[in-house]
Amino acid sequence: MKLSNYALGKWIPHEGEGIPQYNAITGALISTAGSEGLDYAAMMDFARKTGGKVLRKMTFQERGLMLKKLAFHLHGIRKKYYPLSFQTGATKADSWVDIDGGIGTLFAYASLRKKFPNEPFYVDGEMAKLSKEGTFIGHHIKVPKHGVAIHINAFNFPIWGMLEKISVNLLAGVPAIVKPSELTSFLTKAMVEDIIASGILPEGSLQLVCGQGIGILDAVTSQDVVTFTGSASTGRMLKALPQIINKAVPFNMEADSLNACILGEDATPGTVEFDLFIKEVKREMTTKAGQKCTAVRRIIVPENLVEDVQIALGKSLQRTSIGDPSVEGVRMGALVARSQMEEVRKRVEQLSKSTEIVYGDLDNFEIIGADKNKGAFMSPILFLNDNPFEKQDSHHIEAFGPVSTIMPYKDLEDAIELANMGKGSLVSSIVTNDSKIAKDYVMGSAAYHGRVLILNEACAKESTGHGSPMPLMMHGGPGRAGGGEEMGGMRGVMHYLQTTAIQGHPTMLTKVTNQYQYGGEQHEDRLHPFQKYFEELEIGETLITAKHTVTVADIVNFANVSGDHFYAHVDETSLEGTIFEGRVAHGYYLMSKAAGLFVHAKKGPVLLNYGIDECRFVKPVYPGTTIGVKLTCKEKIDQEKRSEEDIAKGIVKWQVEIYDNDNETVMLGAILTMVKKIDQS
């Protein structure tokens, strides 16, 4: 069967013979994958002008709801992908990480929409005052790039690898062309078929290349973003292409690395942490048959515990049954293909020249329910490097399979140096219950590792483990790991947005950003703003309240009610050497009094006070000072209804400015209210 590519809004069978894709368990031919004949320039133009045009007009809220709908759709049909996943050599547990984990990432980024405004763009940070009188200010905005995200993915996670990337670019408003590995693209293609058939994504927002994709980067522009997951050597070659360099195309690289797991000196045999260490390392060696960019390749242990670790880990590996993932009791499947198996065998033979195999055999091992000569099976291989500072192959050669090396350290400083000798990794972990060991390790190693897991009994029950990148945490690492970043919550979305500094008058920037900028034009209305529905409120609409003169009695009464008897509020004899000229009003009294001045008492569209975003007390207020409040509609954030019975509403952010009789600001803050909509449909 020839796999079709999805390009220009239609499925296109590949030309020529294509690359054969084999069942990793039986060796049977599944399909062929090819990309010959595809017009990549036309595909990119289609993505930019068709998919990108629609996505850029959508708000973050709309894009997030689109992801939510897609996630629910795929979750409902997820079981259909498992039989296909088994053909890649993955066990049920491996497939869960790939399939359910990928869909979970969609859900996570759908929820992340709540961190963004109901706009197609994002206003970043705080306003910068660029002039003395405040008539010239600056702000930063982030807008979707007018290009396409080109994702070149690895063979080990055909579904998660796609979903974790498109979750981010689609939320940002950028279309994608996905090129999975030609070894396992049949699984990616199965899901893309369902995504396209659902009609949830705008046309042109997702295209698929199932073959090698030779020439896919020839037509990139400065507005495009390229992401690569795979070997460091291939990534460096692509990153150095003239069109990438000459056009300053953002290139995010996530490469396989020599990740390390360190056993703390306190985690001796008999402790919970020692058992956790053995369990974690064994899991990292055997999950996906060790074919993970985050897998533990170097096992760094105190020199007096090497034998204990070797024995305990060997026993644990011995209990790991290898074979057909569909057979009950099988805990480790096959490598993705026999070609990949041969690559791993070569690396094992290279490592064998300087280090000793202490567990496993390349040829003599048992499998369950399959023919070892037809499938891509391999035994876990455990090396011992007795002198890791001299025998450095363990820090340079990676066997991308169930292969890892034990190496001893004398003290924590040695352990840190060994971990860092991998020249940059996606993740390292330390198993310890000693906070000093944990802190010293993090401070000494963080610069070389994209993520550090500190594992002990307290977090073990809920820990996702060494090898699980989480949607809201950054996935990537320095040096050998590629120097890139993926996911990371809002951080990941920003990679697909262009940051632009905008400058002008506060009133003009208010109109541009749909967020009130301090110093901008304010306008009043006869109707109190708390009597207006969400749709009726306008950005910049301001209530100027009646005024109040602060008295000593106000301060004393608030101290008694709140229990805040800080000396500056209640004891005028203790102010010598302070910044205060006399008894000063509580900041929280000012906030409370401001609310008393601007709140409308009668029932109206305002449902509740949702919270305080920020608050600054910028000038002391003494008895006899007269204060007033300006309450300005700063930003409106739409909310979707959770159910048919839910009230249609939105969140309104208000700027609260308290000023004194010199017309100087004494407090500046922001409050949030939940406001009912007129339209309850």
Out of 386-395, 491-500, 522-531, 572-581, least confident range: 572-581
Whether 107 is covered by a domain: the verdict is yes
Pairing of strands 149-152, 225-230: parallel
Sheet strands (E) in 98-235: 122-129, 137-144, 149-152, 176-179, 206-208, 225-230
pLDDT at 540 exceeding the cut of 90: yes
Whether 508 is covered by a domain: the verdict is no
Residue 140 and residue 224 in one domain = yes
Q: What is the mean pLDDT of residues 137-150?
A: 95
**What pLDDT does residue 681 have?**
63
pLDDT tens digits, 640-657: 888 888 888 888 999 999
User: Contact at 8 Å (CB) between 591 and 622?
Assistant: no
Neighbours of 216 (CB within 10 A): 21
φ, ψ of residue 290 to 5 degrees: the values are 75, 5
pLDDT at 103 exceeding the cut of 80: yes
Residue 130 one-letter amino acid? L
Whether 625 is covered by a domain: the verdict is yes
Pairing of strands 381-384, 403-409: parallel
User: Contact at 8 Å (CB) between 633 and 529?
Assistant: yes
pLDDT at 637 exceeding the cut of 90: no
Q: What is the CA radius of gyration of the chain?
A: 30
**What pLDDT does residue 188 have?**
96
- Can you tell me the distance from the alpha carbon of 353 to that of 226, in angstroms, rounded to the nearest whole number? 38
pLDDT tens digits, 480-505: 888 888 888 889 999 999 999 999 99
* Closest to 184 measured CA to CA, from 398, 339, 370: 339
Task: Check the CA dihedral 384-387-388-394 and report its sign.
Answer: negative
Residue 181 and residue 309 in one domain = no
User: Contact at 8 Å (CB) between 480 and 121?
Assistant: no
pLDDT at 406 exceeding the cut of 70: yes
User: Contact at 8 Å (CB) between 426 and 257?
Assistant: yes
Residue 248 and residue 354 in one domain = no
User: Contact at 8 Å (CB) between 230 and 152?
Assistant: yes
- Can you tell me the distance from the alpha carbon of 230 to that of 252, in angstroms, rounded to the nearest whole number? 11
CA distances from 173 to 72, 121, 123, 380 (A): 20, 9, 15, 43
Whether 506 is covered by a domain: the verdict is no
Residue 461 and residue 564 in one domain = no
Last residue of a domain, one of 498, 514, 538: 498
- Can you tell me the distance from the alpha carbon of 56 to that of 62, in angstroms, rounded to the nearest whole number? 11
Percentage of the chain lying above the pLDDT 70 cut = 100
pLDDT at 680 exceeding the cut of 80: no
Contacts of 134 by beta carbon, 8 Å cutoff, 6+ apart:
506, 518, 519
CA angle 143/144/148 to nearest 5° reads 160
| CATH, residue 189 | 3.40.605.10
pLDDT tens digits, 593-612: 999 999 998 888 999 888 88
- Can you tell me the distance from the alpha carbon of 493 to that of 167, in angstroms, rounded to the nearest whole number? 9
Cα Dmax for the chain: 92
Residue 250 and residue 321 in one domain = no
Average pLDDT, the chain: 92
**What SS3 class is residue 615?**
strand
Out of 124-133, 397-406, 419-428, least confident range: 124-133
User: Contact at 8 Å (CB) between 631 and 669?
Assistant: no
pLDDT tens digits, 307-332: 999 999 999 999 999 999 888 888 99
**What SS3 class is residue 429?**
strand
φ, ψ of residue 359 to 5 degrees: the values are -150, 135
Q: Which of 275-279, 475-479, 571-575 has the highest mean pLDDT?
A: 275-279
Helices (H), 22-91: 40-46, 52-57, 60-76, 82-86
* Closest to 166 measured CA to CA, from 553, 496, 614: 496
Residue 195 and residue 340 in one domain = no
Residue 243 and residue 289 in one domain = no
- Can you tell me the distance from the alpha carbon of 361 to that of 381, in angstroms, rounded to the nearest whole number? 7
**Number of structural domains found in the chain:** 3
| CATH, residue 338 | 3.40.309.10
Q: Active-site positions?
A: 254, 293
Whether 507 is covered by a domain: the verdict is no
pLDDT at 41 exceeding the cut of 90: yes
φ, ψ of residue 163 to 5 degrees: the values are -65, -35
Neighbours of 244 (CB within 10 A): 17
Q: Which domain holds residue 532?
A: 522-676
pLDDT at 661 exceeding the cut of 80: yes
Whether 227 is covered by a domain: the verdict is yes
Residue 178 and residue 107 in one domain = yes
Helix (H) or strand (E) holding 590: helix 587-598
- Can you tell me the distance from the alpha carbon of 258 to that of 550, in angstroms, rounded to the nearest whole number? 65
Supply the pTM of this predicted model.
Answer: 0.88
Residue 546 one-letter amino acid? A
Residue 238 one-letter amino acid? L
| CATH, residue 576 | 3.10.129.10
Helix (H) or strand (E) holding 668: strand 665-676
Query: Tokens 């209530």 label which residue?
Result: 543
Residue 263 and residue 250 in one domain = no
10 Å CB burial of residue 200 (0-12, 13-18, 19+) is middle
Residue 422 and residue 559 in one domain = no
**What pLDDT does residue 334 have?**
92
User: Contact at 8 Å (CB) between 16 and 211?
Assistant: no
Contacts of 66 by beta carbon, 8 Å cutoff, 6+ apart:
58, 170, 200, 201
Q: What is the mean pLDDT of residues 208-222?
A: 92
Residue 210 and residue 327 in one domain = no
φ, ψ of residue 334 to 5 degrees: the values are -105, 165
Whether 371 is covered by a domain: the verdict is yes
**What pLDDT does residue 467 have?**
81
Sheet strands (E) in 518-589: 542-544, 548-549
User: Contact at 8 Å (CB) between 606 and 675?
Assistant: yes
Residue 271 and residue 377 in one domain = yes
Whether 575 is covered by a domain: the verdict is yes
Tokens of 151: 């994702």
- Can you tell me the distance from the alpha carbon of 515 to that of 637, in angstroms, rounded to the nearest whole number? 10
User: Contact at 8 Å (CB) between 32 and 20?
Assistant: yes
**What pLDDT does residue 641 have?**
80
